Amino acid sequence: MKEKPKAGRKSQVACNKREQARMPFEPFRFERWTDADLHPPLVTMESKIAEFREAAKRETAESLERKALSKPEQALRCNEMAKENRVKAAKWRKLAALPEAKTEGLDWRCYENLAEGVDFLIARSGRSDSASMYLSMLIGHALRGLHALAAHEKPSASTFLVDRLLEGVRRFEFLASHRPELFTQYTRRLAVIPATISRQKENAEECAQLMVKLQVSTNSLFSIAAKGKQWRESTPVNGLAVRLVRYIENNRWQSSIYLSHPELYANWPEWFQRLARLKDFGAGTWDKWAEVAWAILFEVTKGKPQEHPDLQALGKSAAKKQPKDCKPLGELSKAANVRAKIKERLLEAFETIAGNFD
């Protein structure tokens, strides 16, 4: 059926009003990796100064807006944040002007904000070989702490330890696949690498036993069987649905800011506001998740999902259908049919996943 455009569709309004600089999340990407991920931008002294200056300008403008709306408390808070960012920009300008020898002697732990301390280490990596060593120490201390907490039956620590493991292995796997020369000088001397992958039979057997003990994937999307056939993420629409489920899940906790300060973030996408109220994904909630997923795709494609090559392939069959004894379909009707078919297939994928997901 042809999907009729709805007047005042919220996702369209959110798309037009979106201010990327204020988003606390990364936009959804159809591709899992891009060439830019092979050479990600490094934090530099100059980029940090620019970041704080832009933040100060943004908070100053927000303060004036709140003052015009007769909200003095909010205006004052924005003014304080603007001042704080100007102070940080000045501090980083001084750091950038220091000679290399003095920069080497600075202690990253002097920062009250840990994230800024890490950024400082990355920014000075071009001047200092010790920056990587400090970062390695920081990661080591963090993992040791998570290990201790998890061993004392702190559930959140166990979750975070697994999350960090997955993130680290995922990044290593990507770089190792595309730029093995970064690691071969070291890895050719190793018997194992992350995830306990090894040429030695004993290590491979131990890894297999560990997966059994941990019950890996027994209750995940990969264990789904639909209509008597093995469900495959490699199917384009299934892969898209899985990535959207993961994307929504990863951003749910951040959207809780709406529950406490909705008035400050009116220009964020409407779909982002719904995340905090979404219940866990399952057979009784898949439709809500699917509607949010469609709003995300609608925004990413600027309201024309039928023109995106990855999505167009999912609904191209609808462009060929034509009722009997009717005039040939116009371009607008074809586009609407393709769009409706894409949405239909996406919803079917969400329902299939949820129907086999406990």
pTM over 0.85: no
pLDDT digits (tens, 9 = 90+) for 115-163: 888 888 888 776 667 778 888 888 899 999 999 999 999 989 998 998 8
Q: What is the dihedral of CA 152, 153, 155, 161, to 10 degrees?
A: 50
| Spatial separation of the C-alpha atoms in residues 149 and 146, rounded to whole Å | 5
- In the three-class reduction of DSSP (H, G, I as helix; E, B as strand; rest coil), residue 230 is classed as strand
Strands (E) across 150-208 are located at 192-193, 197-198
Going from N- to C-terminal start, the domains of the chain cover 22-127, 224-355
pLDDT digits (tens, 9 = 90+) for 26-69: 778 877 677 777 888 888 889 999 999 999 999 999 899 888 88
| Spatial separation of the C-alpha atoms in residues 96 and 293, rounded to whole Å | 43
Beta carbons within 10 angstroms of residue 334's beta carbon = 19
